[in-house]
Amino acid sequence: MPSLKLSATLSVYFAKQFTMYVLCMFIVITAVVFLIDIIELLRRFAGKDNVNIILVLKMAALKAPEISQKIFPFSVLFGSTMFFTKMVKNQEFTAAQSSGQSIWQFLLPTLFVVILLGFFWISVFNPVSSVMTAKYETIENTTLRNEGNALSVSSGGLWIRENIDTGHSILHSRNISENGDILSSVTIFIFDNHDNFNSRIDAKTAKLVPGHWELEHPIFISRDGIPLKKKNSMLPTQLTPNNIQDSFASPATMSFWDLPEFISLLEKTGFSAVKHRLHWHSLLASPLLLCAMVLIAATFSLRTGRRNSNLTWILTSLFFGFFLYFMTDLVYALGLSSRIPEVLAAWTPAIVTILLGAASLIHIEDG
């Protein structure tokens, strides 16, 4: 019967080796994706005179942290597979078993490492990534899409800046209903192309319909301060309920620590926070997802047998890892559409995979 005592020397050795493989795979994959992203940005900016190679490199560098968060689970999968394969090939896994170490004692250092990496990822790396992603999206919107509209929500209500033919307008509303379709206590400031104040509109409500705002009991105040009351009026707009919702800061630009407060703010102002809440739970579940990747790699890589079957097991491990990631995205999409609860969508793939992996490893250890 294997000893329950964990060898500190072996644990440190396994942890160092595992960390080296994971980080090396992460660096390699990130470098390849970074080069591909530079090529893609050069293609997208082709023909734009105001874009140079320095700006492209800057945007690629700003986007790299967000991409690295997506590829990190694959780095753990590939690194784990290489590490376990090396342990089996060099008979180190067999030696560990002979010294009284069980398969779980062998895996414990690797699981401990990925849990630490996962918490570091969401608590330290994610806030840095969110700031850089926000800067990237700002440059992309102004340089590539030429978008001048902006939206922000705070405890004081909703603020919307929109470009119009004669300049721009700034709309403020204290209360929102129907997920942004109807605004109450509305004030609209209209400026010309030189940012000079042109007029102001105060309305009881503003209903968003295709092509314009329907203003109820508006009061138009000119630059000279002369008020003009109307029963109803229409104000042209290019906004729709969908692009109002999309104009909020994307979850990738929000820090893990800031998301709960922003989610609460969205819900208080009447908007849906499904996308942001699901993203927050996905970040919270990421250490568990990394553990699932380790168990997938271990399930297939620690199988001893004929040498010609090793490649098959490795390829099966990689295929199962990609399948898990595909299913995670599928369940994530179901969560976004509110078909299933956000908590279930974020946590289910990792938990199910860990249970399956643990059952397989128990079967392997029992022979």
Other beta carbons within 10 Å of 325: 17
Alpha helices for 8-125 (secondary structure H): 8-44, 53-89, 92-98, 103-120
131 and 156, same domain (yes or no): no
Task: Note whether residue 2 is domain-resident.
Answer: no
Task: Note whether residue 267 is domain-resident.
Answer: no
Q: What's the total number of domains in the chain?
A: 2
49 and 127, same domain (yes or no): yes
What local confidence, expressed as pLDDT, does residue 247 receive?
61
26 and 92, same domain (yes or no): yes
140 and 12, same domain (yes or no): yes
Task: Note whether residue 261 is domain-resident.
Answer: no
12 and 131, same domain (yes or no): yes
66 and 171, same domain (yes or no): no
238 and 94, same domain (yes or no): no
What local confidence, expressed as pLDDT, does residue 230 receive?
86
132 and 278, same domain (yes or no): yes
Nearest Cα neighbor of 237 from 165, 142, 176, 174 is: 165
Task: Note whether residue 265 is domain-resident.
Answer: no
Task: Note whether residue 237 is domain-resident.
Answer: yes
Rounded-to-integer distance, Cα 334 and Cα 314, Å: 30
Q: Which domain range does residue 19 map to?
A: 8-144+273-365
Alpha helices for 218-309 (secondary structure H): 241-246, 259-269, 274-301
What local confidence, expressed as pLDDT, does residue 308 receive?
45
Domain boundary among 194, 228, 246: 246
220 and 181, same domain (yes or no): yes
Domain boundary among 197, 230, 246: 246
What local confidence, expressed as pLDDT, does residue 280 receive?
93
Task: Note whether residue 251 is domain-resident.
Answer: no
What local confidence, expressed as pLDDT, does residue 124 receive?
93
195 and 220, same domain (yes or no): yes
Domain boundary among 246, 281, 302: 246
Q: Which long-range contacts (CB under 8 A, 24 or more apart) does 314-320 make?
A: 314/81, 314/85, 317/77, 317/81, 318/77, 318/78, 318/81, 320/296
Residues in the chain: 367
Q: pLDDT tens digits for the chain (367 residues)?
A: 444 455 677 788 889 999 999 999 999 999 999 999 999 888 887 777 767 888 889 989 999 999 998 899 989 999 998 898 888 888 877 777 777 777 888 888 999 999 999 999 999 999 999 999 988 888 887 776 555 556 667 666 788 888 877 788 888 887 776 556 788 889 999 998 888 888 999 998 888 888 888 999 899 998 888 888 888 888 888 877 766 666 667 888 889 998 898 888 777 766 778 888 999 999 999 999 999 989 988 888 876 544 445 677 677 777 887 888 788 888 888 888 888 888 999 899 889 889 988 888 887 776 5
Question: pTM of the predicted model, to two decimals?
Answer: 0.78
User: What phi and psi, each to the nearest 5 degrees, are found at residue 276?
Assistant: -75, -40
Task: Note whether residue 254 is domain-resident.
Answer: no
41 and 115, same domain (yes or no): yes
